[in-house]
Amino acid sequence: MVVLVCFVGHDYQRIIDGVSYWRVREPLESIYLMYDRKRDKYGYASRLNTKELAEALAFAGQRPAQVGVNPQSYDDVFAALYSVLRREVDERGRRVLVDATSTTKEAYGAVVTVSLMFPGVSIYVVPPAERGWYVPDPESPSFEDWFRRVRGVRGLAPQEIHLPGFRLERPSEDEERVLIALEEHEGRADSIKSLIRWCGEDPSSPAVKNRFSRLIDKLTVKGMVAEGPAAKTKPVALTGFGLVLAKALKAYYSQPPELKAVDLTPPVASNTHGEDGRPSVNASGGWRQRGGTVSSIRSAPQAMHP
C-alpha cells in the first residue's frame, strides 16, 4: 500500500494533478497534507488550499490527515516528516511518496534528507504546464521594475541543510563500466551476457560471468540497477537513480583532462579504461531492486526516469 505526503503552499491544482496521477497507478492507502501553520500571508494561502484539498481528496470515506509545519524551518519540517515516515514505513510497512511541488527550499532540503533515511520512500514534483507565468515579458514596461525588485531582495543568514555523515557509496570502476554500458544501450540489457559483450569482455568465460553477476548484485543493492524476473537469461535495467548517475559519469569522463581535478579522476587500469580515462565500453514486468520494484521509484510527471 502507498501513502502520499503532500506539502501544501500556494499551489492547489498541481497537488490535485499529482494525486490523480498516482491514484490510477498505485493502491493509495492514505494522504497527509503538510500545511504552513504560520500566521502570515503564506500560511493563510496554505491553510485555504489545505481546507479545499481535504474536501477534494477525500475518498472511501477517508479525509487526508493534516499536519501543520513551519516550512521555513528545516528542523521543524525534518521532525514532522520523520514522525510520519517512522509511523508509515517502520510501523505499518507502507511505501511513501512525498510531493515537494509546493514548498520552500528549506523544507525541500529536509524532505530529501529524511527520505534518504527510510527504504521505499520516493520524492516527486509536478512541473507546471506553463513555466514562468508570473514573470513579465522582457519587452513589457513592467519587466524592468519586476527584475530590479526580485534581484534586490536581501537575504538573512544562510540556513545550513544538515546532512548525515554517512554518504551514498559511489560505484567502483567496474560498476561504472556497467552503468555506462547500460545507458548507451537504452538503459537495459536482455541478459548479463549482452552486458559483458558491451563491456568488451568474454561472456563464455565462467570467471567473467561470475564477476559480472556479483557486480549486478552490488548495483542492485545500491539501487542503481534492477533485475528482471528469474529466467534463463535474466534482463537488467537502470533504475531512475542509476540512469541519472550513468549520465553524470558520461559527462564527467567526456570532459577534457585539464578540466578534471586530479584527485577526482579515477586511475587508469588495464582493460578497464580507455586512453581518455573513460571506462572502456564497446557501445554505440517485476524488476528486482533494493527496497522494492522499479515502479516504486518512479515519480509523478517528470520527476525521474520510469
Which ranges of 100-191 would DSSP assign to H, the alpha helix?
Answer: 105-115, 141-151, 173-183
Closest C-alpha among 115, 101, 107 to residue 69: 107
Q: How confident is the model at residue 258 (pLDDT cuts 50, 70, 90)?
A: low
Closest C-alpha among 263, 258, 282 to residue 271: 282
Given a cut of 50, whether residue 103 has pLDDT beyond it is yes
Given a cut of 80, whether residue 89 has pLDDT beyond it is yes
Element (H, E) at 65: strand 65-69
Given a cut of 60, whether residue 292 has pLDDT beyond it is no
Domains with residue ranges and CATH for the chain: 2-128+157-165 (3.40.50.10770), 173-296 (1.10.10.10)
Q: What is the pLDDT of residue 266?
A: 44
What 3-state class would DSSP assign to 14? helix
Q: What is the pLDDT of residue 265?
A: 45
Q: What is the pLDDT of residue 283?
A: 32
**Average pLDDT value for residue range 96-125:** 95
Best-predicted range by mean pLDDT (145-159, 177-191, 292-306): 177-191
Of 3-17, 25-39, 99-113, 262-276, the least confident: 262-276
CA dist 62 and 15 (Å) reads: 18
Q: How confident is the model at residue 255 (pLDDT cuts 50, 70, 90)?
A: confident
Would you list the DSSP string of 207-236?
HHHHHHHHHHHHHHHTTSEEE-SS-SS--E
Q: What is the pLDDT of residue 289?
A: 54
Q: CB of 9 within 8 A of CB of 72?
A: no
**Average pLDDT value for residue range 23-40:** 95
**Average pLDDT value for residue range 254-283:** 49
Number of H helices, E strands in the chain: 9, 10
Of 176-185, 195-204, 255-264, the least confident: 255-264
Q: What is the pLDDT of residue 228?
A: 84
Mean pLDDT of the chain: 85
Stronger pLDDT, 283 or 154, i.e. the higher one = 154
Read off the pTM.
Answer: 0.75
CA dist 108 and 105 (Å) reads: 5
Percent of the chain with pLDDT over 70: 83
**Average pLDDT value for residue range 256-277:** 49
Q: How confident is the model at residue 165 (pLDDT cuts 50, 70, 90)?
A: confident
